[in-house]
């Protein structure tokens, strides 16, 4: 099942967000069909042979492709402004697919210190076992990225804004550094999403997603994706999918496909609440520091506004006022344990506001030195702002913050 290429030509992003998909089936369903099947019946033995050889379009086996999954890929590619997209079972398996496709033993990758915790673990430790070298540099210092380039550097992988401190890096500057070295730039666009930031337009070669977060948007399923050129997707990533099998389940693809229809309006509404909450926290006597790109106090505020459609996004973090790491941890735990409405949960990108203690959860597997480099202190709380009324969000956080 394919898409009539003329059908989507010239349409706006808003329209593509609800319309880009494979063609309707013969039944004319309005909501995209969910094709739950692991195999496909072949019209003839000759056709099957051609399809398996890649000489003819057509579905062959669930690990290789599925029409519902293809609809999600087409829609996400349209929103990111990418030629193509390939989806995976989770965000981490998208990163694994990217690395398995692009890198071999002896190659070198540059990331920032403040990448998502599991990304640091995957690239810094798991891939090191297979001879992939990595360097971790300060997120916001483009010169440090440049200085880390080696003759064997193949990939620069940036995440902006970062989790949980919302550090912002200059995508265009990193793309230039990568391309000058004949390397590729990949951007984890999980926090900003294509609603706010489109890295390909700024020179990135690959956009990576955890669909588990804002693309789903309601905390229901796991998903991941890579957006890139048609050539990278079909020649570099698809072969990895076929042999390694990090395939996105059709049901999960369908949920995330429908999530994309409301992505822009959710991001706008949740980001507006996040900005108001960040301003309120900044003036709270129990709070030492707020990290949010929408605040003028954020060190990369201007870059963030230019790069992210004038919007800070829906995630912020803040440090409770405390003396030393032990008191910081105790007070952060007190705030989290005092919550009655908001969720104590390490996920993000839900319509329900989620609060977490990064130092003991998402960044808990890192060594103390890696955690220090990432700036994840014990008094830090991350808030992924949802769609509750702002005053209820404030009241729930105030319960702990006002009773140290």
Ligand X SMILES: *Cc1c(COP(=O)(O)O)cnc(C)c1O
Min. distance of Cβ 90 from ligand X in angstroms? 3
Nearer residue to ligand X within complex by CB, 66 or 212: 212
Nearer residue to ligand X within complex by CB, 22 or 208: 208
Min. distance of Cβ 49 from ligand X in angstroms? 36
Nearer residue to ligand X within complex by CB, 89 or 287: 89
- Interstrand relation of 380-384 and 315-320 (parallel, antiparallel or unpaired): antiparallel
SS3 of residue 207 by DSSP: strand
**Which residues, numbered 140-159, are part of the site for ligand X (CB under 6 A)?**
159
Q: Tokens at residue 26, please?
A: 């013969």
The yes or no reply on residue 134 touching ligand X (CB under 6 A) is no
Nearer residue to ligand X within complex by CB, 166 or 378: 166
Q: Give the one residue of 80, 188, 264, 350 binding ligand X; rule: CB under 6 A.
A: 188
Q: How many residues bind ligand X (CB under 6 A)?
A: 14
Q: Give the one residue of 51, 75, 213, 382 binding ligand X; rule: CB under 6 A.
A: 213
**Which residues, numbered 312-331, are part of the site for ligand X (CB under 6 A)?**
none
Nearer residue to ligand X within complex by CB, 16 or 88: 88
Q: Which residues are within 8 A (CB) of 349 and not within 5 positions of it... i.e. 6 or more apart?
A: 190, 212, 213, 214, 215, 216, 217, 219, 314, 384
The yes or no reply on residue 216 touching ligand X (CB under 6 A) is no
Nearest C-alpha neighbor of 380 from the set 356, 351, 344: 356
The yes or no reply on residue 212 touching ligand X (CB under 6 A) is yes
Nearest C-alpha neighbor of 159 from the set 100, 206, 223, 216: 206
CB-based contact 328:397 (threshold 8 Å)? no
Nearer residue to ligand X within complex by CB, 224 or 379: 224
Min. distance of Cβ 303 from ligand X in angstroms? 18
What do you get for the CA distance between the two ends of the chain, in Å?
60
Nearer residue to ligand X within complex by CB, 227 or 322: 227
* Rounded CA separation 135/367 (Å): 16
Min. distance of Cβ 92 from ligand X in angstroms? 4
Q: Give the one residue of 109, 149, 190, 397 binding ligand X; rule: CB under 6 A.
A: 190
Angle, CA of 125, 130 and 135, to the nearest 5°: 50
Min. distance of Cβ 385 from ligand X in angstroms? 15
Nearer residue to ligand X within complex by CB, 1 or 205: 205
**Which residues, numbered 88-107, are part of the site for ligand X (CB under 6 A)?**
90-92
Min. distance of Cβ 207 from ligand X in angstroms? 12
How crowded is residue 25: how many other Cβ atoms within 10 Å of its Cβ? 12
Q: For ligand X, what does the binding mask look like between residues 14 and 43, x meaning CB under 6 A? A: ------------------------------
By CB under 6 A, which span of 50-58, 86-94, 176-184, 396-404 interacts with ligand X?
86-94
Nearest C-alpha neighbor of 141 from the set 109, 110, 181: 110
The yes or no reply on residue 308 touching ligand X (CB under 6 A) is no
Q: Exposed, middle or buried by CB within 10 Å (0-12, 13-18, 19+), for 180?
A: exposed
Min. distance of Cβ 190 from ligand X in angstroms? 4
Q: How many helices (H) and strands (E) does the chain have?
A: 16, 12
- Interstrand relation of 133-137 and 184-188 (parallel, antiparallel or unpaired): unpaired
Nearer residue to ligand X within complex by CB, 40 or 136: 136
CA dihedral (340, 346, 348, 351) positive or negative: negative
Count of alpha carbons within 13 angstroms of residue 47, beta-carbon side: 9
The residue whose Cβ lies closest to ligand X is 91
Listing DSSP states for 234-281 in one string gives IIIIHHHHHHH--PPPHHHHHHHHHHHTTHHHHHHHHHHHHHHHHHHH
The yes or no reply on residue 224 touching ligand X (CB under 6 A) is yes
The yes or no reply on residue 210 touching ligand X (CB under 6 A) is yes
Nearer residue to ligand X within complex by CB, 16 or 227: 227
Tell me which residues touch ligand X (CB under 6 A). Answer: 90-92, 116, 119, 159, 163, 188, 190, 210, 212-213, 222, 224
């Amino acid at each position: 099942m394919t898409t009539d290429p003329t059908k989507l030509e010239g349409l706006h992003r808003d329209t593509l967000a609800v319309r880009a998909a494979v063609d309707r089936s013969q039944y004319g369903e309005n909501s995209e069909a969910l094709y739950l099947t692991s195999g496909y019946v072949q019209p003839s033995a000759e056709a099957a042979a051609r399809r398996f050889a890649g000489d003819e379009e057509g579905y062959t086996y669930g690990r290789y492709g599925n029409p519902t999954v293809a609809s999600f890929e087409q829609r996400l590619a349209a929103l990111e402004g990418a030629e193509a997209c390939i989806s995976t079972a989770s965000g981490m398996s998208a990163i694994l697919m990217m690395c398995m496709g692009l890198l071999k033993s002896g190659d070198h990758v540059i990331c920032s210190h403040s990448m998502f915790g599991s990304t640091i673990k995957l690239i810094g430790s798991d891939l090191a076992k297979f001879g992939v070298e990595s360097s971790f540099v300060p997120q916001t210092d483009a010169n440090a990225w440049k200085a880390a380039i080696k003759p064997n550097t193949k990939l620069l992988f940036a995440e902006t804004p970062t989790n949980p401190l919302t550090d912002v890096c200059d995508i265009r500057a990193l793309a230039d550094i990568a391309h000058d070295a004949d390397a590729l730039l990949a951007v984890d666009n999980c926090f900003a999403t294509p609603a706010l930031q489109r890295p390909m337009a700024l020179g990135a070669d690959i956009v990576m997603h955890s669909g588990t977060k804002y693309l789903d948007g309601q905390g229901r399923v796991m998903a991941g994706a890579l957006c890139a050129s048609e050539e990278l997707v079909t020649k570099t990533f698809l072969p990895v999918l076929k042999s390694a099998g990090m395939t996105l389940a059709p049901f999960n693809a369908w949920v995330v496909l429908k999530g994309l229809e409301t992505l822009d309006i959710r991001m706008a509404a949740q980001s507006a609440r996040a900005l108001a909450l960040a301003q309120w926290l900044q003036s709270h006597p129990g709070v030492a520091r707020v990290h949010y790109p929408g605040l003028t106090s954020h060190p990369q505020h201007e870059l963030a506004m230019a790069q992210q459609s004038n919007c800070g996004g829906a995630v912020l973090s803040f440090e409770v006022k405390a003396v030393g790491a032990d008191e910081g941890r105790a007070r952060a735990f007190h705030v989290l344990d005092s919550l009655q409405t908001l969720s104590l949960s390490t996920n993000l990108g839900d319509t329900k506001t989620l609060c977490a203690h990064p130092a003991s959860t998402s960044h808990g597997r890192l060594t103390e030195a890696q955690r220090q480099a990432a700036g994840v202190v014990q008094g830090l709380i991350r808030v992924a702002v949802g769609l509750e009324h702002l005053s209820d969000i404030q009241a729930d956080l105030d319960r702990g913050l006002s009773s140290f």
